[in-house]
Amino acid sequence: MAKPAAIAPSRLHSELARRILRALKAQNAPAGHRLVELDLCAAFNVSRTPVRGALHLLAADGVISPREGRGYVLTRAVQDVPQDSTIEDEEDVSLFAQLAEARAKGKLPDQFTQQEIVRRFEARLPSVLRVLRLLAELGLVERRPGNGWAFIADGARVLHESYAFRRALEPQMLLQPGFRLDRTWSAKARAQHEKLRKKPWRTGDGADFHAVNADFHEQLARCSGNRAMLKAVQHQNQLRDFLSGQWDYPVDQVHSAIDDHLEILAALEAGYADKAAALMLHHLTTSASQSQKDSAAQ
C-alpha cells in the first residue's frame, strides 16, 4: 500500500487522532494491533472521513503503518509511543496544564482576559481560545461582556457537583443491556491496582493514582456500549484533570479507592452487575463525602 499522502491536519482530525491514541493506550494495545475504520467510526460516533484523516496523521507520525491489503496496524506497542508525539496538540495540552497549575496555586484570578493569558503564558491566541472553550464546556469558566472570562465557581463546588452527576451516571452504566466487560482490560487493571496498592507511597504518586483512576472509570463506561455515557465520563475525567492540582491524595484514601475498584471488578467478573452498581454508588458517595471533609478542613 502506498504511503498516505501528506494532508493539512484539521482540528477535527487532530482531536480524533489524540482520542484514538488515548483509547489504544488505555487498551495497552501491542505492536501489530489492527485498526479497523468501521470499528473506529462506531467507537467515536463519527463518519469515515474524519477517521481516515486521523489515521493519516497517525501514519505520518509513525505510530501506525499501512497493512497489506487494507487498514493499518500499530508499528510498536502503544505504551512505547512517546508522549510528545506530534499528534498530541502540545500547545493546547501545555496551556491547559499551566492554567490548572496556576489556578491550583491561587495565581489565576477569578476574572481575567484572554489577552492576559496570551501575555502571561506566552501562548498564541488561537490556542488560548481553544482551551478557554474547553474549560467553558467543562463548566469551569464563562465569557463575560467584552473579551473577559471568569471562573464560575471554586474547585470544591465544581467537584461536589461532579460527584452528584457521577453518582447518577456511573452505577447505571454498569447495568446497561449492552454492557460487556473487557476481560483483557480488567485483568490488566487489576494488576495495575494491586501494584499501586503494594508500593510504598511517595510524594508525586498521586499522579499515578489519578491516571489509573481515570482509566478505570473511562473503560467501564466504554464497556457499557453507550456512547453518550462514555462521552460524559470522558468529560468528567477532563474536569478532574484540571482540578487534580487542587488536592492531594492521602495514602489511606488511595488504598480505600483501590480496594473499592477491585471489589467492583470482582463483582463484574463474577457476573453480578447489580452488586457492582451498588458498590460503584457506595464508592462515589464515600469519595464525595471525603472530598467535602477535605475542603472543609482547608
DSSP string, 52-81: HHHHHHHHHTTSEEEPSSSSEEESS-GGGS
Residue 235, amino acid: H
Q: Which amino acid is at 248?
A: D
pLDDT tens digits along 77-94: 877 766 544 444 667 888
* Cβ–Cβ < 8 Å for 99, 61: no
Summarised one tens digit per residue, pLDDT across range 13-41 is: 777 888 888 888 877 888 888 998 888 88
Burial class (CB in 10 A: 0-12, 13-18, 19+), 202: exposed
The confidence score (pLDDT) of residue 6 equals 39
Percent of the chain with pLDDT over 90: 39
Q: Which portions of the chain are predicted below pLDDT 50?
A: 1-9, 84-88
Helix ranges, the chain (H)? 11-27, 37-44, 48-60, 90-104, 114-121, 125-137, 155-173, 183-198, 206-223, 227-243, 251-269, 273-297
Which pLDDT does position 24 carry in this prediction?
85
> Which of these, 137, 134, 139, 138, lies nearest to 152 by C-alpha position?
139
CA 73 distance to own-chain centroid: 23
pLDDT score, position 297: 52
Residue 122: all three cell numbers together: 506566552
Q: For residues 190 and 284, what is the distance between their CA atoms, to the nearest angstrom?
A: 19
Q: CA angle 198-203-209, nearest 5°? A: 55
Contact 49, 99 (CB under 8 A): no
Q: Using CA of residue 110, residue 111, residue 114, residue 118, what is the dihedral sign? A: negative
pLDDT at position 260, please? 97
User: What is the pLDDT, as a whole number, of residue 264?
Assistant: 98
How far, in Å, CA of 173 to CA of 264, rounded? 13
Topology (CATH) of 155-297: Four Helix Bundle (Hemerythrin (Met), subunit A) (1.20.120)
Give the per-residue pLDDT at 246. Answer: 56
Question: Please, where in the chain does CATH 1.10.10.10 lie?
Answer: 11-80, 90-151
Whole-angstrom CA distances from 21 to 18, 86, 258 are 5, 12, 26
SS3 130: helix
90-151 in CATH: which number? 1.10.10.10
Top CATH class of 11-80 equals mainly alpha
Collapsing DSSP to helix, strand or coil, 35 comes out as strand
Measure the CA–CA gap between 107 and 85, rounded to whole angstroms: 30
Element (H, E) at 142: strand 141-143
- C-alpha dihedral, 163 to 165 to 220 to 71, nearest 10°: -120
**Whole-number pLDDT of residue 11:** 59
**Range list for CATH 1.20.120.530 in the chain:** 155-297
